Amino acid sequence: MTTLGVNGVAGRMGQTVVETADERGDVDVAFGIDVDGDADVDVPVYSPAETGDALSEYDPDAVIDFTVPESTVALAEACAGAGVPLVVGTTGVDEDQLSVLQEASEAVPLLKATNFSRGIQGLLRALGPALEALEGYDVEVMETHHNQKRDAPSGTAKTILEEISEHRDFETVPGREGIQPREEDEVGMLVRRAGDIRGEHEVTLADNDEVLTISHRAEDRGVFAAGAIDAAVWLARQDPGWYDFGDVVDA
């Protein structure tokens, strides 16, 4: 049995992680951390200031984090001090905050992913061969999420752009407005926010009177929760270091 803590337990993803864990027989969420001390979840909830106490009391095998960068950084420092592995699903992390996470990974196993969907891993792994086979084709990326998502473009979209950069030199164009004909060596990045859409990502390659589209749509947040839990179970057995979800899929 893998014992977990969940940071941001009152949030959409935090609650989904607890619900998904309840459906499994190999994990147990022992506690949550949240600014909302009255969170409607069936686990003890600690405030961020009490993180150290929670880690000491329950000594979890790993903590899963879906919050905001400031909270993630503080948690990473606490986990490093307590020797607790950390799974990070928070996006919008800047370079300075990323450095703190990387420093924490020298003390404990730390896995950071912009997306915990196995389908997105499939998209990323299909993208390279497609780009190589369709050299010179125009490339456009579009992502759509719910209207409460804070960062844009999504962390997953940025990961897709990073994968494209392994095969193309390009300039990212964030949407288009006015007179702006498409130039060579650019990739358009379109962001949409609407309703309660869980997550949609699409890469279009077009030229030579043909269009290839590689897309992924998450139907439920449980997809990401299940992946994060898989990551936590795997990470609990690893040595200190920096990991990503691809390592879990390959295991």
b/e map 33-53, b = 16+ CB within 10 Å: bbeeeebebebebbebeebee
Whether the Cβ atoms of residue 21 and residue 28 lie closer than 8 Å to each other = yes
Q: Is 216 a catalytic residue?
A: no
Can you give the pLDDT at residue 172? 96
Number of DSSP helices (H) and strands (E) in the chain, helices first: 8, 12
CB 151 within 8 Å of CB 97: no
Same domain, 49 and 77: yes
Residues 247 and 237: beta-carbon distance below 8 Å = no
User: Which residue in 112, 145, 158, 201 is the catalytic one?
Assistant: 145
Query: Is residue 204 classed exposed, middle or buried when 0-12, 13-18 and 19+ CB atoms within 10 A define those classes?
Result: middle
How many CB atoms within 10 Å of residue 112? 24
The predicted structure's pLDDT at residue 55 = 98
- CATH number for the domain including 41? 3.40.50.720
The per-residue pLDDT for range 128-139, each reduced to its tens digit, is 999 999 999 999
Would you state the pLDDT for residue 49? 96
**Claim to verify: residue 160 and residue 210 sit in the same structural domain:** yes
112 is catalytic: no
List the pLDDT tens digit at each of the 251 positions of the chain.
Answer: 999 999 999 999 999 999 999 999 999 999 999 997 777 888 999 999 999 999 999 999 999 999 999 999 999 999 999 999 999 999 989 999 999 999 999 999 999 999 999 999 999 999 999 999 999 999 999 999 999 998 899 999 999 999 999 999 999 999 888 988 898 899 999 999 999 999 999 999 999 899 999 999 999 999 999 999 999 999 999 999 999 999 999 99
What pLDDT score does 150 carry? 86
Q: Do 122 and 104 share a domain, yes or no?
A: no
What is the pTM for the complete model shown? 0.90
Residues 26 and 110 both lie in one domain: yes
Shared-domain flag, residues 103 and 20: yes
Residue 180 has a pLDDT of 87
Do 192 and 110 fall within a single domain? no
Alpha-carbon distance 209 to 24, whole Å? Answer: 48
Do 20 and 101 reside in the same domain of the chain? yes
Residues 160 and 194 in one domain: yes
Tell which residue, 103, 18, 4, 21, has the closest CA to residue 55.
4
Q: Quick one: pLDDT at residue 229?
A: 98
Say how far apart CA 51 and CA 29 lie, in whole Å: 15
pLDDT of 41 = 85
Specify whether the CB–CB gap between 78 and 46 falls below 8 A.
no
Residues 136 and 40 placed together within one structural domain of the fold: no
Domain count for the chain: 2
Residues 81 and 197 in one domain: no
Given this model, what pLDDT does residue 39 score?
Answer: 74
Residues 30 and 10: their CA atoms lie apart, in Å, by 14
Closest CA to 114 of 158, 70, 71, 167: 158
Considering the domain architecture, whether residues 17 and 69 belong to the same structural domain is answered as: yes
Q: Which domain holds residue 27?
A: 2-116+221-250
- Claim to verify: residue 226 and residue 111 sit in the same structural domain: yes
Compute how many other C-beta atoms are within 10 angstroms of the C-beta atom of residue 235: 24
Q: What percent of the chain lies above the pLDDT cut of 90?
A: 89
Assign residue 196 the CATH number of its domain. 3.30.360.10
